[in-house]
Chain A
Amino acid sequence: MTHLDTDVLAEFRAGLITRRRGARIAAHLAGCARCTALDDQLAGVCSLLAAVPVPAMPDSLAQRLDAVLAAEVAQRGMTQGDQAERADGDGTAESPAPRRPGGDRGFRLLTLRVLAPAAAVVLLTAGGYGLSRIGLGSSTESAASTSAGRAAQAAPTAAPTAAASAKSGAHANARAAGPTKRAVPQGITPAIVVRISHRNFSHAGFEQQVQAELRVPSGSLATQAASPQVRGCVQQVAGTYRVQRVESVRYDGSPATLIVARTGADDTAWIAAPDCSATHSHVLDTTSLP
């Protein structure tokens, strides 16, 4: 028998060799100093690997993960708070907000908003997620949208029915807004996760900068829950469009918020100034992203 090669010995040691062939290998090892030495070295690889200490997590990473976890807990708390408030508020049967594994579920929960020019309210569910609450409109809304909200509230768990009843009184223009628009009274603010990016954007090459940023997997960025002001700003800027991503960035060296939303076939990115809010849509730059 020729000498054993390392792979065969490693398989032998791992118990992967058939008994008959294994017996031949054992017999060879018994009489061959070279292969025995190789076998010892393979055993040494295992003990060497076992002796490498488990690295302690660096403090900076531990702190970062704690912050991300705190944001997750806060986001979950907000979601549950919304549900509790709904259950308390109008006493109607509610379907719980869907839990979407592994995604930015905050964005998808209820990105719904009043369209409300005149008496027009189109009310549709989107993407299979039940529209679980139509509350009364805020004081700034028209009486028409408020009454539409009441009409929908009569059948809150049967979204298609609610949509139909709301549509029956809808203005033709609102109908033309199309089925991708979703309507909801103001006052329901979806939880939004803000990703922390360190990229500095500028007007020259803005589109390319955004494209580059969007290639960074969102999961690789630290997160925080959006402040009420930022949530208001996102709603003001993105309107009824589905928000894809919100990041805390810099623009010309100053803090700013990057908002990306699906606007029809394309996406649109906006840079919002720090003073942007629900009542003040202050956009510093924008681009469409094919």
Chain B
Amino acid sequence: MPDDGSPADHELLRRHVAGDAEAFGELFRRHRDRLWAVALRTLCDPEEAADALQDAMVSAFRRAADFRGESAVTTWLHRIVVNASLDRLRRRAARPALSTGDEQAFEALVAQDGDPARASDTKLDVDAALGLLAPQQRAALVLVDMLGFSVADAAAILDTSPGTVKSRCARARARLLPHLAHLQGNRSASESVSPAQGGDT
């Protein structure tokens, strides 16, 4: 429940189902930046992410009466967004993961944050590296490592077991390591990674 006395998520959802015209908007605006982040990171494409988020929002609006309260409202909202995003990924499976246009769009997005150039570089590199992951791995990694969800909550959102979430995250981190090692500063370890990547010697 929010500290400032505003209604809790489940209360807003209840009001929406009861016919309150404002309640869903308030609920959605409360969470939309994180929902946007999930869609954007999962899809690696701002336009697709925007469409997925819109689909998810409309779906949640219409299906609110189906929410039974087994999970937190945020978990339910995130699940709808993740599913909408993964649905889009499946539909565009034949298409290339990243095009030049997408990268330009990313730059436009990151430019909004008033950045040191270096921070932008980091974000672009992370975005590009995320594009290398399998969708399910990426979704798990985004929720746990980037948005700070617990493994249990991520499992509820992804409708899978905590063990599967851990496994997907572990594989994703291992896959990302060679692509992100250069961003971690000049640790002495960075030189020794390459041989280890090649296998046991």
Contacts and interface: CB of A to CB of B under 8 A. Distances in A.
Given A69-B25, A219-B51, A220-B51, A54 B173 contact: no
B170 A34 contact: no
A65 B126 contact: no
Contacts of A50: 145-146, 148
B19 A80 contact: yes
A38 interface: yes
Contact of B126 (A49, A68, A76, A219): A49
A13 B170 contact: yes
Given A5-B200, A38-B196, A219 B170 contact: no
Contact of A101 (B66, B180, B195): B66
Contacts of A44: 180-181, 184, 187
A289 interface: no
A10 B40 CA distance: 25
Nearest to A49: B145
A107 B40 CA distance: 31
Interface residues of B, number: 64
A44 B174 CA distance: 11
B50 interface: yes
Interface stretch (A55-63, A118-126, A206-214, A249-257): A55-63
B187 A54 contact: no
A104 to B, nearest CB: 10
B72 interface: no
A289 B167 CA distance: 48
Interface string B177-201: 1001101100111101101110111
A69 B23 CA distance: 11
A99 interface: yes
The A interface, classified by DSSP as helix, strand, loop or mixed, is helix
Interface stretch (B4-12, B28-36, B95-103, B152-160): B28-36
B147 interface: yes
Contacts of B184: 41, 44-45, 48
Given A3-B201, A38-B189, A56-B33, A46 B173 contact: yes
A5 B37 contact: no
A77 B167 CA distance: 46
Interface in A16-68: 16, 33-38, 40-42, 44-46, 48-50, 52-58, 61-62, 64-66, 68
Contacts, number: 166
Contacts of B188: 37
A52 B147 CA distance: 9
Contacts of B195: 34
A73 B93 CA distance: 33
Nearest to A13: B170
Interface string B134-153: 00000001000111100000
Contacts of B113: 53, 55-56
A3 B21 contact: no
Given A69-B24, A69-B28, A220-B51, A58 B173 contact: no
Nearest to B47: A220
A243 to B, nearest CB: 19
Contacts of A45: 145, 173, 176-177, 180, 184
Given A40-B187, A41-B189, A55-B40, A14 B170 contact: yes
A65 B32 contact: yes
A101 B62 contact: yes
Nearest to B185: A44
Given A3-B200, A48-B122, 6 more contacts: A10-B170, A38-B192, A55-B36, A61-B53, A217-B51, A217-B55
Please provide the 7 A-B residue pairs with the shortest distance between their CB atoms, ordered closest to farther: A37-B189, A2-B200, A10-B170, A10-B174, A49-B145, A6-B174, A14-B170
13 contacts: A3-B196, A35-B196, A37-B189, A38-B177, A38-B196, A41-B177, A45-B176, A48-B184, A54-B147, A55-B113, A57-B32, A73-B25, A219-B54
